[in-house]
């Protein structure tokens, strides 16, 4: 048995360490440890702030999924204060959300994940003519013809079609050769390029992959242009509680939004859709197909057993989340849990998640047995508390081997992470694009998705087409490392279409004469109740996200964010078992224990975002207020 540590895990957001016990003879991972190694305490910084500023602070949880937390926060504060935003603002936020999801997925696939699959050194062995032929074959075989229905077509021809000539690939090869010859490998330094997994794909796929890595590094910036127009910048665009700050006028030369400004967004959306159609989806499917056909269908872990979603893209402005308004008109109704998908879609079990579940401490709670926190003495050692009931007192412990400031091996029998362990009905769940796709597919096949929206139909079409291409049933290819990466690509294509869908709605609404972008009726704190609480749900790129706030006397008195990477990267729970990262690592075979490329590949298939996931630490260990949000009884706070 070999103990292997990888710290830092790079090409992720934030600070992550993994440790695995590998059986050297079989390559089987017997035990896995995932540890979030940094904690910033942002939720504590929120206390006493003006709730109208909350989005700006909490957006800084993460600059990679920038805006996910701002949007979650706005929904929570607007839920608390009873603010319904204008149509234009709702559509604009959804355009921004869609742009963010696409861009995040693109960066993940091409810049954070790709170098687990392709190597610049292997690319040098490629034949340029064969690579050009491969590019044509990839486009012919792996483009998916799905799009949102109707829509205003503003693009005459695709502007970003992939190059497929031998001369082009020659140039890329020469460039790579020159970098290798220079001895200064820069970002390509020190990787295990001799790992046998880099032999899985033919050299031409490596060259294609490296070429598209470079193209996408320069193109990704265009995907988030809607943020720059609507929110003034990216990362971290600006918002306003009650709507959007970007006033619309077709009569004022200096208006933040006019026809010319909207045309810039339109161009960006066209580019985005083309990049998904011509690059991301075909590339991911081409690579994934080779892996699957060579038998690499491991790394599923918890996805086989249990996935969770909250639902995405309310189609129209909604009244709130606590009153259930959020769930009424979702474009993607993935709110619920699917268990045992690996047993087949008909045998899988679906359980809905609604507003009433979120406040029920028996349904959603967190444990800290293996987190660097402790619960008070009156609570059982293995207690699991609802997030709002959570006591977050730090309890940093030394590692099993090494010292407090020089770790050798973390203590997996004791405490080992700054992440808590969130649970649904006492069980751990995986969240993310794969979870959303499993839930929609299961609901559809079990007759639980009446009148599917165009987006839900597109998800089903995508899954069925890919299943045909791979010759495998969804329950076989989806809950795997490859499936996690492939569904993210499919979802990026969906999100690109969603962006177009809401942009068209925005144009139609402006055309109808409505230019309102902000509801300022409850801007002044004098209009607020003395006490108010709210929750905001958001399907972030990495999965189900919830923001919770308590407002008293015009100030935030409690703020909590339960984020996707906490669900996925959490330490184990003595009753519920291993979280998604750990379970996926334990479902992965390692060829060379000293070079655990497979471990990194499966962890990166989740797109780790560690700064998001580390929890609030209340230095004095005070009990945090208990907030109950009940759709019938209203919201109560127990001090």
Partner 1 sequence: MEKRETMLEAYLKKGMSRRSFLKGCVALTSIMGLSTDMLSKVVEAAETTPLPVVIWLHGHECTGCDESFIRSGAPLASDLVLNNIALEYDHLLSAASGEPFEAHLEETIQKYYGKYILAVEGAVATKDNGIYCMTGGKPFVDTLQHVAKGAAAVIAYGSCAVSGGIQAAKPNPTGSSGIEHYIGNKPLINVPGCPPIAEVMTGVVMHIALFGKLPPVDSENRPKQFYGNRIHDTCYRRPFFDAGMFADRYDDAGAKAGWCLYRLGCRGPETYNSCGNMRWYQGMSYPIQSGAPCIGCSSANFWDNAPFSDRLPKYGPLGDIDKIGAGLAIATTAGVAVHGALSVVQKKKRQDEENDGEQVKK
Asked if 221 touches partner 1 (CB under 8 A), the answer is: yes
Buried b (16+ CB within 10 A) or exposed e, 337-353: bbbebbeebeebebeeb
Rounded CA gap, 35 and 416, in Å?
6
Q: Which of residues 24-43 bind partner 1 (CB under 8 A)?
A: 37-42
From residue 49, give the alpha-carbon distance in Å to each of 43, 60, 230.
11, 15, 25
Instruction: At 32, give phi and psi (nearest 5°).
Output: -140, 145
From the CB of 506, what's the least distance to partner 1, in Å? 15
From the CB of 12, what's the least distance to partner 1, in Å? 8
From the CB of 397, what's the least distance to partner 1, in Å? 10
Asked if 238 touches partner 1 (CB under 8 A), the answer is: yes
Q: Which of 153, 182, 378, 512 binds partner 1 (CB under 8 A)?
A: 182
Asked if 520 touches partner 1 (CB under 8 A), the answer is: yes
Rounded CA gap, 204 and 122, in Å?
8
Span interacting with partner 1, options 59-67, 272-280, 322-330, 373-381, rule CB under 8 A: 59-67
With H, G, I as helix, E, B as strand and everything else as coil, classify residue 306. strand
Span interacting with partner 1, options 53-61, 71-79, 464-472, 492-500, rule CB under 8 A: 53-61
**Which residue shows structure tokens 């017997």?**
30
Q: Which CB atom, from 7 or from 464, has the smaller least distance to partner 1? A: 7
**Residues contacting residue 614 through CB under 8 Å, at least 6 positions apart:** 14, 36, 38, 39, 40, 418, 419
- What is the H or E stretch that residue 612 is in? helix 610-613
Q: Which CB atom, from 115 or from 449, has the smaller least distance to partner 1? A: 115
Q: Which of 396, 426, 527, 622 binds partner 1 (CB under 8 A)?
A: 396
Q: Which of 232, 361, 452, 621 binds partner 1 (CB under 8 A)?
A: 232
From the CB of 148, what's the least distance to partner 1, in Å? 26
Rounded CA gap, 490 and 553, in Å?
45
Q: Are 548 and 364 in contact (CB under 8 A)?
A: no
From the CB of 111, what's the least distance to partner 1, in Å? 7
Asked if 188 touches partner 1 (CB under 8 A), the answer is: yes
Asked if 352 touches partner 1 (CB under 8 A), the answer is: no
Asked if 175 touches partner 1 (CB under 8 A), the answer is: yes
Span interacting with partner 1, options 130-138, 181-189, 287-295, 482-490, rule CB under 8 A: 181-189
Q: Which CB atom, from 221 or from 349, has the smaller least distance to partner 1? A: 221
| Residue among 561, 574, 497 nearest 534 (CA) | 561
From the CB of 42, what's the least distance to partner 1, in Å? 6
* DSSP symbol at 245: S
Asked if 260 touches partner 1 (CB under 8 A), the answer is: no
From the CB of 242, what's the least distance to partner 1, in Å? 7
Residue ranges of alpha helices (H) inside 294-432 are 325-328, 355-358
From the CB of 256, what's the least distance to partner 1, in Å? 4
User: What ranges make up the beta strands (E) of 541-613?
Assistant: 543-552, 555-562
Rounded CA gap, 36 and 416, in Å?
8
Q: Is 178 exposed, middle or buried (0-12, 13-18, 19+ CB in 10 A)?
A: exposed
From the CB of 243, what's the least distance to partner 1, in Å? 7
Asked if 210 touches partner 1 (CB under 8 A), the answer is: no
Q: Is 404 exposed, middle or buried (0-12, 13-18, 19+ CB in 10 A)?
A: exposed
Q: Which of 34, 66, 557, 566 binds partner 1 (CB under 8 A)?
A: 66
End-to-end CA distance of the chain: 50
Q: Which CB atom, from 49 or from 445, has the smaller least distance to partner 1? A: 49
Q: Which of residues 499-518 bind partner 1 (CB under 8 A)?
A: 515-518
Q: Are 452 and 445 in contact (CB under 8 A)?
A: no
Q: Which CB atom, from 6 or from 448, has the smaller least distance to partner 1? A: 6
Q: Which CB atom, from 112 or from 435, has the smaller least distance to partner 1? A: 112
Q: Which of 3, 49, 395, 531 binds partner 1 (CB under 8 A)?
A: 49
From the CB of 577, what's the least distance to partner 1, in Å? 26
Q: What six digits make up the tokens of 577?
A: 């078992």
Rounded CA gap, 626 and 610, in Å?
26
Span interacting with partner 1, options 146-154, 187-195, 286-294, 488-496, rule CB under 8 A: 187-195
For residue 477, the Cα-to-chain-centroid distance in whole angstroms is: 20
Span interacting with partner 1, options 218-226, 353-361, 362-370, 626-634, rule CB under 8 A: 218-226
Q: Which CB atom, from 154 or from 177, has the smaller least distance to partner 1? A: 177
- Return the bridge partners of 417, or none: 371
Q: Cis bond leading into 235, ω under 30°? A: yes
From the CB of 501, what's the least distance to partner 1, in Å? 22
- Residues that bind partner 1 (rule: CB under 8 A) add up to a total of 106
With H, G, I as helix, E, B as strand and everything else as coil, classify residue 488. helix
From residue 372, give the alpha-carbon distance in Å to each of 35, 178, 322.
10, 48, 31
Span interacting with partner 1, options 242-250, 439-447, 454-462, 628-636, rule CB under 8 A: 242-250
Q: Which of 1, 214, 259, 508 binds partner 1 (CB under 8 A)?
A: 214
Q: Which of residues 529-588 bind partner 1 (CB under 8 A)?
A: none
Span interacting with partner 1, options 93-101, 457-465, 530-538, 611-619, rule CB under 8 A: 611-619
Q: Which CB atom, from 52 or from 572, has the smaller least distance to partner 1? A: 52
Instruction: At 280, give phi and psi (nearest 5°).
Output: -60, -55
Q: Which CB atom, from 63 or from 151, has the smaller least distance to partner 1? A: 63
Asked if 255 touches partner 1 (CB under 8 A), the answer is: yes
């Amino acid at each position: 048995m070999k103990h292997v540590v990888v710290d830092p895990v790079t090409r992720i957001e934030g600070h992550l360490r993994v440790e695995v016990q590998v059986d050297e003879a079989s390559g089987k991972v017997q035990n896995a440890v995932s540890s979030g190694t940094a904690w910033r305490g942002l939720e504590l910084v929120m206390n006493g702030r003006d709730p109208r500023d909350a989005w700006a602070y909490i957006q800084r949880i993460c600059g990679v999924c920038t805006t996910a937390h701002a949007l979650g926060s706005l929904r929570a504060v607007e839920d608390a204060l009873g603010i319904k935003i204008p149509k234009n603002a709702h559509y604009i936020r959804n355009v921004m959300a869609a742009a963010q999801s696409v861009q995040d997925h693109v960066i993940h696939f091409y810049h954070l994940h790709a170098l687990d699959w392709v190597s610049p050194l292997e690319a040098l062995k490629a034949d340029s003519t064969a690579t050009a032929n491969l590019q044509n074959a990839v486009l012919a075989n792996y483009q998916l013809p799905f799009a949102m229905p109707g829509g205003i077509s503003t693009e005459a021809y695709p502007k970003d079609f992939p190059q497929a000539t031998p001369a082009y690939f020659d140039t890329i090869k020469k460039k790579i050769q020159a970098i290798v010859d220079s001895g200064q490998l820069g970002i390509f330094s020190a990787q295990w390029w001799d790992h046998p997994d880099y032999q899985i794909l033919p050299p031409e796929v490596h060259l294609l992959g490296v070429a598209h890595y470079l193209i996408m590094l320069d193109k990704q910036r265009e995907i988030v242009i809607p943020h720059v127009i609507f929110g003034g910048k990216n990362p971290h665009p600006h918002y306003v509680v009650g709507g959007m700050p970007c006033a619309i006028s077709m009569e004022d030369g200096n208006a933040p939004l006019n026809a010319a400004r909207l045309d810039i967004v339109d161009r960006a959306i066209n580019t985005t859709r083309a990049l998904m159609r011509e690059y991301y989806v075909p590339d991911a499917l081409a690579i994934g197909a080779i892996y699957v056909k060579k038998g690499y269908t491991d790394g599923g872990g918890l996805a086989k057993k249990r996935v969770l979603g909250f639902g995405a893209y309310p189609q129209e402005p909604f009244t709130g989340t606590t009153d259930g308004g959020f769930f009424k008109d979702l474009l993607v109704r993935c709110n619920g849990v699917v268990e045992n998908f690996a047993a087949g879609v008909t045998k899988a079990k679906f359980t809905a998640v609604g507003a009433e579940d979120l406040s029920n401490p028996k349904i959603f709670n967190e444990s800290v047995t293996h987190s660097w926190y402790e619960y008070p003495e009156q609570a059982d050692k293995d207690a699991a508390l609802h997030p709002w009931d959570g006591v977050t007192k730090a309890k940093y412990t030394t590692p099993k081997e090494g010292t407090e400031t020089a770790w050798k091996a973390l203590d997996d029998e004791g405490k080992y992470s700054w992440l808590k362990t969130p649970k649904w009905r006492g069980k751990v769940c995986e969240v993310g694009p794969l979870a959303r796709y499993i839930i929609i597919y299961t609901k559809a096949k079990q007759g639980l998705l009446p009148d599917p929206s165009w987006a839900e139909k597109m998800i089903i079409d995508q899954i069925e087409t890919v299943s045909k291409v791979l010759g495998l049933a969804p329950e076989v290819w989806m809950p795997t490392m490859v499936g996690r990466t492939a569904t993210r690509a499919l979802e990026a294509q969906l999100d690109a279409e969603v962006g177009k869908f809401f942009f068209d709605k925005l144009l139609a609404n402006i055309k109808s004469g409505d230019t309102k972008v902000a509801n300022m009726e409850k801007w002044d704190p004098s209009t607020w109740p003395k006490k108010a609480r709210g929750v905001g749900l958001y399907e972030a790129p990495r999965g189900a996200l919830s923001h919770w706030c308590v407002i008293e006397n015009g100030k935030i008195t409690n703020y909590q964010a339960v984020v996707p990477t906490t669900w996925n990267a959490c330490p184990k729970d003595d009753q519920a078992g291993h979280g998604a990262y750990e379970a996926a690592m334990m479902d992965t075979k390692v060829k060379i224990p000293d070079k655990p490329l497979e471990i990194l590949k499966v962890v990166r298939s989740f797109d780790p975002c560690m700064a998001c996931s580390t929890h609030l630490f209340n230095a004095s260990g005070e009990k945090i207020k208990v907030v109950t949000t009940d759709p019938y009884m209203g919201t109560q706070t127990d001090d």
